[in-house]
A and B are shown apart, each in its own frame.
Chain A
Amino acid sequence: KAGVTQTPRYLIKTRGQQVTLSCSPISGHRSVSWYQQTPGQGLQFLFEYFSETQRNKGNFPGRFSGRQFSNSRSEMNVSTLELGDSALYLCASSAGPGQNYGYTFGSGTRLTVV
């Protein structure tokens, strides 16, 4: 079956702009999480959605937001981009509670802010 699909793979944006990233989970997976990965901070949790509801949120400013649709696809949005937002953004989905099954990650979207 198809894995977790993230689009686009690469993105270059200018400071002050906004960006929307998309994630399609594995069919049947209802939990979708988002992470930011940078060389300095590693992987950091952004937020998690389940059945269109945000259940958990990390310590990121309000410029970072997300949503989940009825088909479990998810989007995250970053407004007023800053240079420090340059990172690999990863989406992960899970069949059930991730504690039992682990998470399946997509290949990520590489965002560069110039």
Chain B
Amino acid sequence: SQKIEQNSEALNIQEGKTATLTCNYTNYSPAYLQWYRQDPGRGPVFLLLIRENEKEKRKERLKVTFDTTLKQSLFHITASQPADSATYLCAFQQWGSQGNLIFGKGTKLSVKP
């Protein structure tokens, strides 16, 4: 069956370190992969999008990679800050599936000062 897994439910790191979050998928052929941040009681906020033919995307302190051979995406936050503490969600979209994002359960990141 189709499955998306974000390897850690929670991740605790020290301020200034790089946070690395993992998203694995099985039995999908995603065309696009997106990462979102969600704070308690709020809707997800779009961060980055990467296409299946792209290996890496960067935006300020954020970096996302997409490996279709390993069926995995990695999301990195460099020089992490306490304000980065939130739940991070990966989401896939397949060709032709308008509006239908398939989300992972999320990883709750806590950055300690």
Residues of A within 8 A of B (CB): 4, 31-33, 35, 42-45, 47-50, 55-56, 58, 90, 92, 94, 97-108
Contacts and interface: CB of A to CB of B under 8 A. Distances in A.
B89 A97 contact: no
A98 B99 contact: yes
B57 to A, nearest CB: 12
B: interface residue count bin = 20 to 34
List the 7 closest pairs (A to B, CB-CB), nearest first.
A48-B99, A105-B43, A102-B46, A33-B99, A43-B103, A99-B32, A42-B105
Contacts, number: 77
Contact of B99 (A94, A101, A104, A106): A94
B7 to A, nearest CB: 15
B53 interface: no
A76 B85 CA distance: 32
Given A99-B49, A99-B93, A33 B43 contact: no
A47 B98 CA distance: 10
Contact of B101 (A49, A103, A107): A103
Given A48-B99, A99-B31, A107 B46 contact: no
